[in-house]
Amino acid sequence: MFNRLQRMLTRATKLTRSGKVLSAAIVLQNLASAPAKPVRKPAPTKPRKPATAQQKAALSPKPKTRPRAALGDKARGTTAVSRGSFKRVDFSDEHGKRSYKLYIPAIATPGKLMPLVVMLHGCTQTPDDFATGTAMNRLADERGLMVAYPAQPVSANRNRCWNWFKPADQARDGGEPALIAGIARQILRDHPADPRRVYIAGLSAGGAAAAIAANAYPDIFAAAGVHSGLPIGAAQDPMSAFLAMRAGSPGSHQSVAMPTIIFHGDADQTVNPRNGRSVAARALGSFPGLTETVRTSSKGGHKFSKTAHRAQNRKSYCEYWTVTGAGHAWSGGNAKGTFADPKGPDASREMIRFFLQHRI
C-alpha cells in the first residue's frame, strides 16, 4: 500500500513540474478514491476473570493525604475550609440598604459575648476580597471575634468607594455612617456580640469612612483603625477629595475622644502620608496628658516606626505606624487580596491588640 502511494505521488509531482496540472489532479483524485485495504479483525479473546477485591486494592493508587491546615487558613487564600461561618446578610432601614458578610468563628462559646470588628473595604474592593487581603477571619478564629464586612454597591459609588467626601455621609443620623451603625446594631441584636467591644477599621476610602463613623457613633464603637486613610473633614466634594488625597489635609476637629490606631506607608502614591499624620493629630487632640514613646524596627518585613501615646496605666490611646517603603496596601496582608502587602508589620494583628484594650 505504501509503495503504491509513493509511486502515484511521484507521478503527480512529475506531471506538475512538466505543466500538466490537470493530469496531476486526476492522479491525486484516483488516489483519494482508491478503496482502502480491509483491516483484519483481531481474533476473539477469552473474557478475563474479574479482579478480586484484594487485586483492586493493590492496583488502586492510595489517595494522597494533605496536612491539616491551621485554623482559618481560608482567610489566607488557601484551599483549606474555614471552621467558622461566613455568610451574606442584608440590612435596610430608613437610611437605605446595604449587604454585608459576617464571619462567626466556630470557637464561639454559648452564653459568652464576643467582640465585633466592622471592616470597611477600599475602592474597587468587595467584602470577600477585603477579608482575604486582611486575613482578619484568621484572627477571628484565634481570638474569638466576629467580623462584619459591609459592602458598598456600585449604585452608591461606581468604584465601590465609601463616600467619605460628601457632607451627607459625614455626620450622625444620616447617610452611610447611619447605615454602618445600623449594621452593627443588627449584629448586636441577632448575635452574641458584646456591645461594649465593637470596633471599626478600614482601608483608604474605608479608613476615612471608619474615622467618620467612629466619631459619629461613640456610643457604638469603642475604637477605630485607619489604614491609608484620611482625617475627618478632609474634603467636602470630589475636587477637594482629590486634592486631599494628593497633597494631604489637616482635617477638622474631632468631636469625641476615640482611641485610634493608624497605619500608613510612607511611599503611598494614592493617599498622601500627610493624611495619616493628620488622623493621629486629630485623635490626640482629645487625649491630653499622654506619654509618647517611639519604637523603630524591621521585624516582620518593612522597616517601621511606631509612635504610641499611653496613659499612666500603660494603655495606648493613639498609635501611629509609619511603614517605610510601603505603598497603598494593607500592611502584612495576604497578596491574594487586592491592595495587600505581605510584608509586615501585621496591621490586622496590631489593630486587634489595640482594640481589645478598649471598651465603651
For the chain, what is the radius of gyration of the CA atoms?
32
Give the pLDDT score at 107.
Answer: 81
Give percent of the chain with pLDDT exceeding 70: 77
Give the pLDDT score at 276.
Answer: 98
Position 70 in a domain:
no
Candidates 158, 195, 162; CA nearest to 177 is 162
- All cell numbers assigned to 326: 510601603
Candidates 195, 200, 197; CA nearest to 215 is 200
The DSSP symbol for 302 reads S
Position 193 in a domain:
yes
Position 297 in a domain:
yes
pLDDT bucket at 34, cuts 50 / 70 / 90: very low
Position 114 in a domain:
yes
Question: What span, in angstroms and rounded, lies between the C-alpha atoms of 296 and 132?
Answer: 28
Position 326 in a domain:
yes
pLDDT bucket at 287, cuts 50 / 70 / 90: very high
Question: What span, in angstroms and rounded, lies between the C-alpha atoms of 207 and 205?
Answer: 5
Question: What span, in angstroms and rounded, lies between the C-alpha atoms of 169 and 209?
Answer: 9
pLDDT bucket at 299, cuts 50 / 70 / 90: confident
Give the pLDDT score at 98.
Answer: 98
User: Is the model more confident about 32 or about 164?
Assistant: 164
Per-residue pLDDT of 100-154, as tens digits, reads 999 999 887 778 999 999 999 999 999 999 999 999 999 999 999 999 999 999 9
Task: Answer whether residue 167 shows pLDDT above 90.
Answer: yes
Give the pLDDT score at 6.
Answer: 53
Mean pLDDT score across all residues of the chain:
85
Task: Answer whether residue 304 shows pLDDT above 70.
Answer: yes
**CA angle 224–117–166, rounded 5-degree value:** 55
Give the pLDDT score at 300.
Answer: 79
Per-residue pLDDT of 70-96, as tens digits, reads 333 333 333 334 579 999 999 999 999
Position 96 in a domain:
yes
Per-residue pLDDT of 193-203, as tens digits, reads 999 999 999 99
**CA angle 152–155–159, rounded 5-degree value:** 60
Question: What span, in angstroms and rounded, lies between the C-alpha atoms of 105 and 82?
Answer: 9
Cβ atoms of 176 and 169 closer than 8 Å? yes
Candidates 296, 223, 286; CA nearest to 253 is 286
Position 315 in a domain:
yes
Position 19 in a domain:
no
Question: What span, in angstroms and rounded, lies between the C-alpha atoms of 31 and 137?
Answer: 71
Task: Answer whether residue 290 shows pLDDT above 50.
Answer: yes
Task: Answer whether residue 4 shows pLDDT above 90.
Answer: no
E-state strands within 105-188: 114-120, 146-150
Question: What span, in angstroms and rounded, lies between the C-alpha atoms of 198 and 91?
Answer: 18
Q: Which segment of 4-8, 163-167, 214-218, 295-299 scores lowest on mean pLDDT?
A: 4-8
Exposure string for 267-298, b = 16+ CB within 10 A, e = fewer: ebeebbbbbbbbbbebbbebbeebeeeeeeee
Please report, for the domain that includes residue 248, its CATH number.
3.40.50.1820
The DSSP symbol for 16 reads H
For 4, half-sphere exposure in the C-beta direction (CA atoms, 13 angstrom radius) is 10
Look at the chain and report how many structural domains it folds into.
Answer: 1
> Which is it for the CA torsion 78, 79, 81, 86, positive or negative?
positive
Give me the domain span that covers residue 290. 91-355
Per-residue pLDDT of 55-76, as tens digits, reads 343 333 343 333 333 333 333 3
